Every structure is written in C-alpha cells, then in structure tokens.
Chain A
C-alpha cells in the first residue's frame, strides 16, 4: 500500500514569491491534515479536511495561507506571498476515520522542506 505522497520534497524561494505544496493521501482515507514543523519543534496542525470540507482551520494564517481539497482526494497548500519566517517543513497526513475519532491513526508523508531566502 502506498503511503502519503508529498511533492516537492524541497523548495527554495525568495521572499514575497508564491509557493504551493501538493499531497496525495493514502487511498480511501477521508481525512487529510496539513501540519507545520519548525526546526527543533513538534508539528503543529494548520488545517484538517473531512473529504472536501475544511473542518478545522483555526490555526491557518488566512492572510497568506490557503488550502484546497476540491475532489476530496489530493490537496494543495499555498503560501502567497512567502515570508522568511515561513521556512519550515510542511507535513501532510491522512487517516481513515470520517469524524476524527479518538483512535484514528494518522499516517504522515515525508514533508516538504521550504526555505525562504
């Protein structure tokens, strides 16, 4: 079974440029998450999707960050414009539960390492 796929693995951009990250979850997983991980810290949730609906986006900085999951399968996270402080690893995860159940295991992709110069 293929795991969560993310691309690109690495991205270097200059500040004020736009950037997008793509995630393909495990087949059949209804729930998709985007996390941000700063160096030396644990991941922090940005947004959670149940199918194509964003059900928890309280931590997403909506002035510059946006996300979509149009067909309820793969997802794109965008930053426009990027700032120096956005340099981090962006992780995507998926799970099979439809309501974020307590014992629903999340499977993570390898992440995209973003460097903003």
Chain B
C-alpha cells in the first residue's frame, strides 16, 4: 500500500472550514483514498473515500489533485465535536480489506 504523509497536528477556529492535507505521492492507479477519524476514547469512524473525482457527503468533501499525489479533506464548518485524529489511508485494490493506518493528524477545533 502507498504511504501517506500528514501533518502531526492542526488547529481550526469553530465555524471555519478545516482543510486537512494528505500526501500520497506513490499512489497507484487502482488505489483509493480513504479518510477516517477517531474521536478520543472512540473507535475510528469512516468519513469519505474517492478514487480520482472530488467527492462530497454530509460530513465532508474530498478534493484529490489531478495527478492523485495529494488530497485534502474539507470540513466546511468545523465544530468542537470535530476535534479528533484524522487518518488518510490509501487502499490497494488487491490487498483485500486491510486498512493501514498511519499516525494521522490531530485536529483541534477551538472556540
């Protein structure tokens, strides 16, 4: 699986957009980009995934660059409850359902 690189931590003001970057420069053509988050003392929670097109759901938007070497998760109006560790994961089509988590980005939303 391709390796991902994320900043260790980020801060965001409540009500503002949170933009979380992820680099995956060795991504292959058949690999998807997944985002999960983990709120303190809870299990990881699925947010969104995409292959090459931008994706949006009720939680967030995922912007993938044209060369697919990086992506950005956007939380449009961050709330205090969005404070969590955010994991960017690249998933190989042939490796079954294994999710390989890195250390993620600790997002802190401040009032």
Question: Which A residues have a C-beta under 8 Å from some C-beta of B?
Answer: 4, 31, 33, 40-45, 48, 55-56, 91, 93, 95, 97, 99-111
Contacts and interface: CB of A to CB of B under 8 A. Distances in A.
Contact of A108 (B41, B45, B103): B45
A81 B100 CA distance: 27
Contacts, number: 58
Given A42-B87, A107-B46, A108-B45, 18 more contacts: A33-B97, A42-B101, A42-B104, A43-B99, A43-B101, A45-B98, A48-B98, A91-B43, A93-B43, A100-B96, A100-B97, A100-B98, A101-B97, A102-B91, A103-B49, A105-B46, A106-B44, A110-B43
B102 interface: yes
B101 A44 contact: yes
Best-surrounded residue of B93, B99, B104 (most CB of chain A within 10 A):
B99
A110 B41 contact: yes
A60 B49 CA distance: 28
A114 to B, nearest CB: 14
Interface in B74-98: 87, 91, 93, 96-98
List 9 A-B pairs, minimum CB-CB distance, nearest first: A42-B101, A100-B97, A108-B43, A100-B96, A105-B46, A108-B44, A43-B101, A102-B93, A91-B43
